[in-house]
C-alpha cells in the first residue's frame, strides 16, 4: 500500500492498543511502527536502480526484520515513556502486529513482498488490490485525522478507530472476492479462446477494483487484455506481445539484466525503440491500456542507457492522464 495509508491505518491501530494510556502519542507510535518497513527507501540513495528494485519490499518487509525490530522498538518506547504501567509484552505485541499488518497488506499488491528474506528470494503478491486504492485508503485517513483532532477523553474515539480499521478490512475482503470472480471468468475465457496460460495473473487497473488487467502466455510471449466485473460478454480482446528473448543474448551475463528478470518473475518482454533496447515488466500494466491497447508498459527499463532509469517503477504510471482518459476508465469499468 502507499505510505499515507500505512501511516493512517497505523495510527488507528495505535489507538486500539493504548487507548488513553499515552494520549495521542499512541497515534504517532502507530504511524511510525506501521511505516518502519518502508525504511528501505533509503537504498535508492546509493544502489543502482536494478538492485534497488529488489531491495524495495525485500529484507525490511521480512518476518526476520520484524523479529529483530520488534524488541528494539519496544525497548525504545518503554524507555521514552517511563514512568508508565504498560507491560513489555504489550509493547512487543503492538510493534510486531503493526509491522506484520504492513507486510501483509503489501502482499496484496502486485510488486511482490519478500516475507522470507534472506532465506528465500520468493516474492509474495496476491494481486488483489491496487497499490493506491482510494476506496481502501479514504476511511483510515479520515479516522486518523479525526482522532488527532478530537479530545483524548471523547467517547467518539471508539467509533472512529473502528471506522478506520473495519471499513478497509471489509473492503479488502470484497477485493479478494472480486479477484476470485475475475480469475474464474478469465480462466474459462482463456480456455475457450485457446490462449496459453503457463504464466498468468490478473491485477486491478489503477485506482479501482472493478476493472482488471490480465496477462497470460508462455516463453513465446504474452496476451494482454482488460476485464471488468461488469462485462457481460463471455470473451475478451487480447493483444499479443512477443517476448523477444533472443534480443537479450548479447548481454545475458549482465547482473542488472539478471536482477530484472528475477524481479519480473518472468513476466517480461523486450523491444527495440530505435537504437535502444527496452525491458518491459508486464506486472505493472500499460499506460492507459484500457483506452489504447498498444500503449507502452508502465515499467520500461533502458538496458543500453541505464542513466535514464531513475524512478523506473513510477515511470508513466499516470502519464497521458486527462479528463478524457479518466472518463474512458470509468466507462470501461462499467463493462461492455
Q: Can you give the pTM of this predicted structure?
A: 0.94
At 36, list the grid cell: 518502519
What average pLDDT does this structure show over 186-196? Answer: 97
In the predicted model, is pLDDT for residue 316 greater than 80? Answer: no
Q: pLDDT of 236-271, one tens digit each? A: 999 999 999 999 998 888 888 999 999 999 999 999
The mean-pLDDT minimum among 33-47, 61-75, 119-133 falls in 33-47
What gap in Å lies between CA 206 and CA 168, rounded to an integer? 18
What gap in Å lies between CA 113 and CA 71, rounded to an integer? 22
Q: Please, what's the b/e burial string for 187-208 (b: 16 or more CB within 10 A of its CB; e: otherwise)?
A: eebbeeeebeeeebbbbbbbbb
Cβ–Cβ under 8 Å, residues 125 and 72? no
- According to the 3-state scheme, what is the secondary structure of 255-266? HHHHHHHHHHCC
List of E strands, the chain? 199-204, 211-218, 221-228, 239-242, 268-273, 276-286, 297-302
Cβ–Cβ under 8 Å, residues 136 and 9? no
pLDDT at residue number 307: 72
In the predicted model, is pLDDT for residue 312 greater than 80? Answer: no
Q: pLDDT of 298-307, one tens digit each? A: 999 988 777 7
Amino acid at each position: 500500500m502507499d505510505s499515507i495509508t500505512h501511516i493512517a491505518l497505523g495510527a488507528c491501530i495505535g489507538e486500539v492498543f493504548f487507548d488513553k494510556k499515552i494520549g495521542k502519542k499512541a497515534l504517532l507510535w502507530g504511524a511510525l511502527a506501521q511505516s518502519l518497513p518502508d525504511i528501505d527507501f533509503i537504498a535508492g540513495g546509493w544502489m543502482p536502480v536494478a538492485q534497488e528494485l529488489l531491495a524495495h519490499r525485500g529484507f525490511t518487509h521480512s518476518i526476520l526484520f520484524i523479529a529483530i525490530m520488534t524488541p528494539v522498538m519496544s525497548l525504545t518506547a518503554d524507555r521514552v515513556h517511563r514512568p508508565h504501567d504498560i507491560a513489555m509484552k504489550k509493547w512487543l505485541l503492538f510493534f510486531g502486529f503493526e509491522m506484520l499488518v504492513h507486510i501483509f497488506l503489501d502482499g496484496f499488491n502486485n510488486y511482490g513482498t519478500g516475507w522470507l528474506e534472506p532465506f528465500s528470494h520468493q516474492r509474495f503478491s496476491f494481486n488483489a488490490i491496487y497499490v493506491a486504492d482510494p476506496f481502501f485508503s479514504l476511511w483510515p485517513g479520515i479516522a486518523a485525522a479525526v482522532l488527532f483532532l478530537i479530545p483524548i477523553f471523547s467517547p467518539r474515539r471508539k467509533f472512529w478507530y473502528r471506522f478506520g480499521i473495519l471499513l478497509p478490512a471489509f473492503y479488502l475482503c470484497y477485493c479478494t472476492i472480486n479477484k476470485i470472480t475475475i480469475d474464474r471468468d478469465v480462466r474459462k475465457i482463456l480456455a475457450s479462446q485457446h490462449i496459453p496460460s503457463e504464466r498468468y495473473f490478473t491485477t486491478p487497473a489503477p485506482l479501482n477494483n472493478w476493472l482488471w488487467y490480465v496477462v497470460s502466455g508462455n516463453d513465446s510471449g504474452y496476451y494482454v487484455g482488460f476485464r471488468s466485473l461488469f462485462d457481460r460478454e463471455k470473451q475478451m480482446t487480447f493483444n499479443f506481445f512477443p517476448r523477444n528473448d533472443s534480443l537479450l543474448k548479447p548481454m545475458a551475463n549482465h547482473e542488472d539484466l539478471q536482477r530484472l528478470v528475477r524481479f519480473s518473475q518472468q513476466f517480461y518482454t523486450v523491444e527495440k525503440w530505435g537504437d535502444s533496447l527496452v525491458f518491459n515488466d508486464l506486472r505493472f500494466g500499460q499506460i492507459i491500456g484500457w483506452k489504447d491497447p498498444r500503449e507502452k508498459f508502465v515499467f520500461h527499463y533502458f538496458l543500453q542507457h541505464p542513466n535514464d532509469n531513475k524512478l523506473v517503477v513510477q515511470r508513466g504510471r499516470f502519464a497521458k492522464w486527462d479528463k478524457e482518459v479518466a472518463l474512458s476508465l470509468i466507462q470501461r469499468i462499467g463493462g461492455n
